[in-house]
Amino acid sequence: MSSIAKKSQSTLNTALFALGLDKGGRQPLHAQLADALRALILSHPGAAGTRLPASRTLAAELSVSRMTITTAYDQLLSEGYLSARAGSGTFVADHVPHLAPPAPAVPHHPPDPRPIRPFQPGIPDPALFPDRLWARHLERAWRRPDPALQAAPDPFGWYPLRAAIAAHLAAWRGLECDPAQIVVTAGASDAFDLLFRAALTPGDVAVMEDPGWSPLRAALDRAGLQTRPVRIDNEGLDPRALGAARAAIVTPSRHFPTGCAMPLARRLALLDWARSTDAWVIEDDYDSEFRYQGQPLPSLSGLDGLRRTIYLGSFSKLLSATLRLGYLVIPHALAETARAVLAQSGVRVSLVPQPALAAFMDSGEFASHLRRCRRTYAKRQALLLSELAPLASLLELQPDPSGMHLCCLLRPALRAVRSDAEISAACAAAGLNVRALSSHCVLPDPPQGLLLGYAGFDEETLKAAARTLVDVLSRAARKAFSTQV
Ligand SMILES: Cc1ncc(COP(=O)(O)O)c(C=O)c1O
């Protein structure tokens, strides 16, 4: 035996004699010994061919029965770690099975929540979320669940929620519909995916507003539709610019993101276009409940009686985007196709929050929540406008009768020296999330403006953020003006 082999034998055997087996432990002694011996062999790469102590000797050293030793040796013989030579004992095998080195441990930390930086548009204030009422309704619905909640669900959603949505739409959006026409979805993108498959065919042309909502563009691409962007003016989409298309997707009550409303004459012209060309008008009515002056504008789908219109609503802005709840209101004629699509694609929305939301709406608490948010958001908008007054020569600052963000166009003097994208980048460096209006456009020569979300931030945060914005913009403008002269 070489001196290296002798050394390995002695260190391996020394380690073996020093093993401490846990006699009161849950794992049988022979299994503990097999695990320890396997680990020793793997950690002594030069130990191939080493003779192990006789079972009787090792049993005496470890104060266990001989059977414990022979069972452990047999186990490792069968795994290929040991080999037996008749009459001369048990040896570490010449070729020990190769074990992949354990993967390096990846430190496991829950990811930090993505920070919501001031002026991010479109998020409701989480502090206004009715946590206690919500918890109570959830608890009531699921403590002793209605058996229907645990049976095969209706793919269109929990019926009482659909009935509550129908009542809400009649009261708030001038839209009379039957709960049977409502499909609960996992937010707006899910709703678009479903309705594109139910009402359109891949290759169809769909008109989208420009500027417009980027996730919509992605949903149109997913459905294999041809997107035709049409630039809007300060009355929204002009029906005369539509041409031949299978659908027009519009935000008539509050255009996203500019905030303008489509006047009645255009709404009627749009419906005429849909009827005469057999096209669909898809109304994305994402936050019209937040209207601060005058009456909420009735929905376009209400005006049409849901003949050539499909209505899309979401709870993301009215309650919380983390609920992932939205809905479609479809003409009766589309119901069967929508069911067929859902049977094929499967339902993506959870039933868990639906009975709680139904109860929250039926109790009148949802309407109170909306009124409370509306009062708070109106005050926040007024505060923001007054804090931004020093920027009046650079930005168009006008009160907006509705919504959760302001869309402020750059005045010509600022536009001449800075793009909205450059300003957005400078704001990001100062910790603000100010979106450039042009980032919502795909057509050339996009309008230049800044989107300033105010709804999701309390007064102190808004004041501090407004001061930073005044600072960033004044500095950017001063620098640009000075380098021009
Ligand atoms: C124009 C528009 N439509 C719909 C939605 C709702 O989207 P979701 O229900 O997927 O959160 C939003 C939310 O930001 C939006 O801006």
Cβ-proximal residues to 393 (8 Å cutoff; 6+ apart), any chain? 411, 413
Q: Kindly list the distances between the CA atom of residue 432 and the CA atoms of 4, 44, 383, 468, in Å, as whole numbers in the listed order.
A: 67, 58, 17, 8
Which tokens is 209 given? 């507003």
Q: Which atom of ligand 1 is nearest to the CA of 284?
A: 3
Which of 184, 217, 288, 314 most suits a substitution to test ligand 1, by most atoms within 8 Å of the C-beta?
Answer: 314
| Ligand 1 center to 450 CA (angstroms) | 19
Q: Kindly list the distances between the CA atom of residue 52 and the CA atoms of 5, 22, 32, in Å, as whole numbers in the listed order.
A: 12, 21, 17
CATH number for region 126-367: 3.40.640.10
Q: Which amino acid is at 105?
A: A
Find residue 83's DSSP bridge partners: 91
* DSSP 8-state class, residue 152: P
Alpha-carbon dihedral sign for residues 169, 170, 171, 172: positive
| Ligand 1 center to 243 CA (angstroms) | 27
| Ligand 1 center to 316 CA (angstroms) | 7
| Ligand 1 center to 300 CA (angstroms) | 18
CATH number for region 3-92: 1.10.10.10
Of 105, 15, 103, 4, which Cα lies nearest the Cα of 45?
Answer: 4
| Ligand 1 center to 424 CA (angstroms) | 22
Which of 253, 317, 323, 402 most suits a substitution to test ligand 1, by most atoms within 8 Å of the C-beta?
Answer: 317
387 vs 211: CA distance, rounded Å:
27
* Per-residue pLDDT at 106: 75
* DSSP 8-state class, residue 333: G
| Ligand 1 center to 411 CA (angstroms) | 28
Which of 283, 286, 433 most suits a substitution to test ligand 1, by most atoms within 8 Å of the C-beta?
Answer: 286
Q: Whose CA is nearest to atom 2 of ligand 1?
A: 286
Q: Whose CA is nearest to atom 3 of ligand 1?
A: 286
Residue with tokens 């849909």: 274
* Per-residue pLDDT at 177: 98
| Ligand 1 center to 213 CA (angstroms) | 8
Q: Which atom of ligand 1 is nearest to the CA of 315?
A: 9
360 vs 158: CA distance, rounded Å:
14
Q: Which atom of ligand 1 is nearest to the CA of 121?
A: 14
Q: Which residues have any ligand 1 atom within 6 Å of their CB?
A: 122, 187-189, 213, 251, 256, 284, 286, 314, 316, 321, 326
| Ligand 1 center to 298 CA (angstroms) | 19
* DSSP 8-state class, residue 236: B
Q: How many other C-beta atoms can be found within 10 angstroms of the C-beta atom of residue 68?
A: 21
Q: Which atom of ligand 1 is nearest to the CA of 251?
A: 1
3-class DSSP assignment, residue 215: helix
Q: Whose CA is nearest to atom 12 of ligand 1?
A: 286
* Per-residue pLDDT at 2: 56
| Ligand 1 center to 302 CA (angstroms) | 20
Choose the CATH number for 376-484 among 3.40.50.720, 3.20.20.70, 3.90.1150.10, 3.10.28.10: 3.90.1150.10
144 vs 12: CA distance, rounded Å:
62
Segments making up each domain of the chain, as ranges: 3-92, 126-367, 376-484
pLDDT in tens, the chain (485 residues): 555 556 656 777 788 788 888 888 888 899 888 888 888 888 877 788 888 899 899 988 888 999 999 999 999 888 889 998 888 899 998 887 765 666 777 777 877 777 899 999 999 999 999 999 999 999 999 999 999 999 988 999 999 999 999 999 999 999 999 999 999 999 999 999 999 999 999 999 999 999 999 999 999 999 999 999 999 999 999 999 998 999 999 999 999 999 999 999 999 999 999 999 999 999 999 999 999 988 778 999 999 999 999 999 999 999 999 999 999 999 999 999 999 999 999 999 999 999 999 999 999 999 999 999 999 999 999 999 999 999 999 999 999 999 999 999 999 999 999 999 999 999 999 999 999 999 999 999 999 999 999 999 999 999 999 999 999 999 988 877 676 64
210 vs 284: CA distance, rounded Å:
14
